[in-house]
Structure 1
Amino acid sequence: MTQLFFSDFDPDPALAPRPLAIVGAGGLGREIAILVAQLNEAGGAWDLRGYYDDRAPATPTVGGLPYLGTVAALNAVASPLAVAVAVGSSASRAAVVARLTSPQLSFPALVHPAVALRPEQRVALGAGCLVQRGCILTCDITLGRFVLLNLGCTVGHDAVLEDFCSLMPHANVGGGAHLATGVYLGTNATVIQQVRVGERTTVGAGAVVVRDLPADCTAVGVPARPVNSQQ
């Protein structure tokens, strides 16, 4: 898991605006466009160019920004371009990232300006993380590459969220919990302290995970229990 300290992603307002595009022209993509605008209002320096998506939208613009083409077109860009991958599904986001192979592309972490990330919190963010408004991260936390924290999520001390984990709005991860690669927590789902969730497992909306879950399953309920295997 490659990690960069959160301050490595702080924009420098003295620099010229940095071009950025969003992969995913759906609802999450539009929400990330709002996040970019909020970052710029707080002193960021992003020049949001538009959207790439293999499924073309019904109109040539989305929320006032142009549709720029497919992932193949994105790989063909001739100059450096920052990219935010706004795909909600953990598996689908990983599949898109695997196809983004151009050396011109970079993947900054984008964190809402109201989310507290001070040096004494010791929070490490992987490339491509997206952290939305209202999230609370305490201390000694590790987020892997392309982790998505949607609106109002909480992450407790010493928690580890590996690459491509996805937390939907108001999901909660307790202290010392460990989410393996590709875990998906539905809206209002909770993983209590010290619990481990296996790779690619989905936890349903409102479920509460009180004991370890295996890889490749879907778990629902309070307490959460596996209801099927994804393999």
Structure 2
Amino acid sequence: MQDLIIIGAGGFGREVLQWAKHVNNAEQRWKIKGFIDDNLQALEGIECDYQVLGAIQSWRVSPNEVFVCAIAKPALKQSITTSLLARGAVFANLVHPTAIIGDFCKIGKGLIVTPNAKVSPNVTIGDFVTLLGSGVGHDAVLEDFCTISGNCSINGNVRVKQGAFVASNTCVVPGKTIGQWAYVGMGSMVIRSVEDHSKVFGNPAKKLKF
């Protein structure tokens, strides 16, 4: 049985710990070891049954370890996973037992799927995608490092490009594209494709002006 190490001991890290326990309750898959986090006091004053084992930046990867990256920010997720991959890290896919993954889906490494998410048939999911209790329609594409927050509707033939962040309760109408490293604000209705590196918000979603 492999040792599971969770990257990031913040709130999302503790959620991922809970989902890993649920996976093990359904089928003993891992020996959960704890967290790594560059903030060694991340769990100070917080009730938790696992500890921070050490810092991410100095962690030495062992052969029996597998990792899951509990970091939602796409750029930080990319930086951390790239560094650990260079040190020989192997990443697990963590799919909650209540999630539904349709037939003929193509799935990369480092995927996190939380409770009650629904992925329709023929969806393509890249590496290090985070899908938080949302629905993904048929033939959609979720590229590397993107994060889909809770209660989103990513409809059929939508493309969410590399590093995009889609905040909670967003709906993307069929066939539209969320550009690379774009940010879609909470509760948005996306009826037009979103440009690369842009931030949009609202119903309908419009580019934010600062």
Give your verdict on TM over 0.5: yes
Question: What secondary structure is seen at the aligned counterpart in 2 of 1:72?
Answer: coil
Residues 100 and 116 of structure 2 are in contact (CA less than 8 Å); yes or no, is this contact kept in structure 1?
A: no
State the TM-score, normalized to the length of structure 1.
Answer: 0.86
Residues 23 and 84 of structure 1 are in contact (CA less than 8 Å); yes or no, is this contact kept in structure 2?
A: yes
Shift of 1:117: 2.7
Task: Say if 2:82 is the partner of 1:131.
Answer: no
The whole-number CA distance in structure 1 between the counterparts of 2:31 and 2:46 is 16
The whole-number CA distance in structure 1 between the counterparts of 2:31 and 2:98 is 20
Shift of 1:79: 2.8
Shift of 1:73: 3.2
Residues 217 and 228 of structure 1 are in contact (CA less than 8 Å); yes or no, is this contact kept in structure 2?
A: no
Q: Deviations over 1:59-111 (max 9, x none)?
A: 3986110211111332x1333310000001111111111211222x2111110
Residues 43 and 51 of structure 2 are in contact (CA less than 8 Å); yes or no, is this contact kept in structure 1?
A: no
Q: Percent identity?
A: 28
The whole-number CA distance in structure 2 between the counterparts of 1:208 and 1:113 is 29
In the comparison of the two structures, how many residue pairs are matched?
Answer: 208
Aligned position for 2:58: 73
The whole-number CA distance in structure 1 between the counterparts of 2:15 and 2:43 is 18
Residues 157 and 175 of structure 2 are in contact (CA less than 8 Å); yes or no, is this contact kept in structure 1?
A: yes
Find 2:155's aligned residue among 174, 187, 193.
174
Q: Deviations over 1:124-172 (max 9, x none)?
A: 211000000010111100110000011x200000000000110111011
Aligned position for 2:96: 112
Question: What secondary structure is seen at the aligned counterpart in 2 of 1:35?
Answer: helix
The whole-number CA distance in structure 2 between the counterparts of 1:72 and 1:164 is 19
Unaligned runs of 5+ in 1: 1-16
Q: 1:171 to 1:197 in 2, by over 3 A?
A: same
Letter of the aligned partner of 1:102 in structure 2?
R
Residues 61 and 67 of structure 1 are in contact (CA less than 8 Å); yes or no, is this contact kept in structure 2?
A: no
Task: Say if 2:122 is the partner of 1:140.
Answer: yes
Question: What secondary structure is seen at the aligned counterpart in 1 of 2:34?
Answer: strand
Find 2:164's aligned residue among 176, 183, 187.
183
Unaligned runs of 5+ in 2: none
Task: Say if 2:66 is the partner of 1:85.
Answer: no
Aligned position for 2:142: 161
Aligned-residue Cα RMSD (Å) equals 1.6
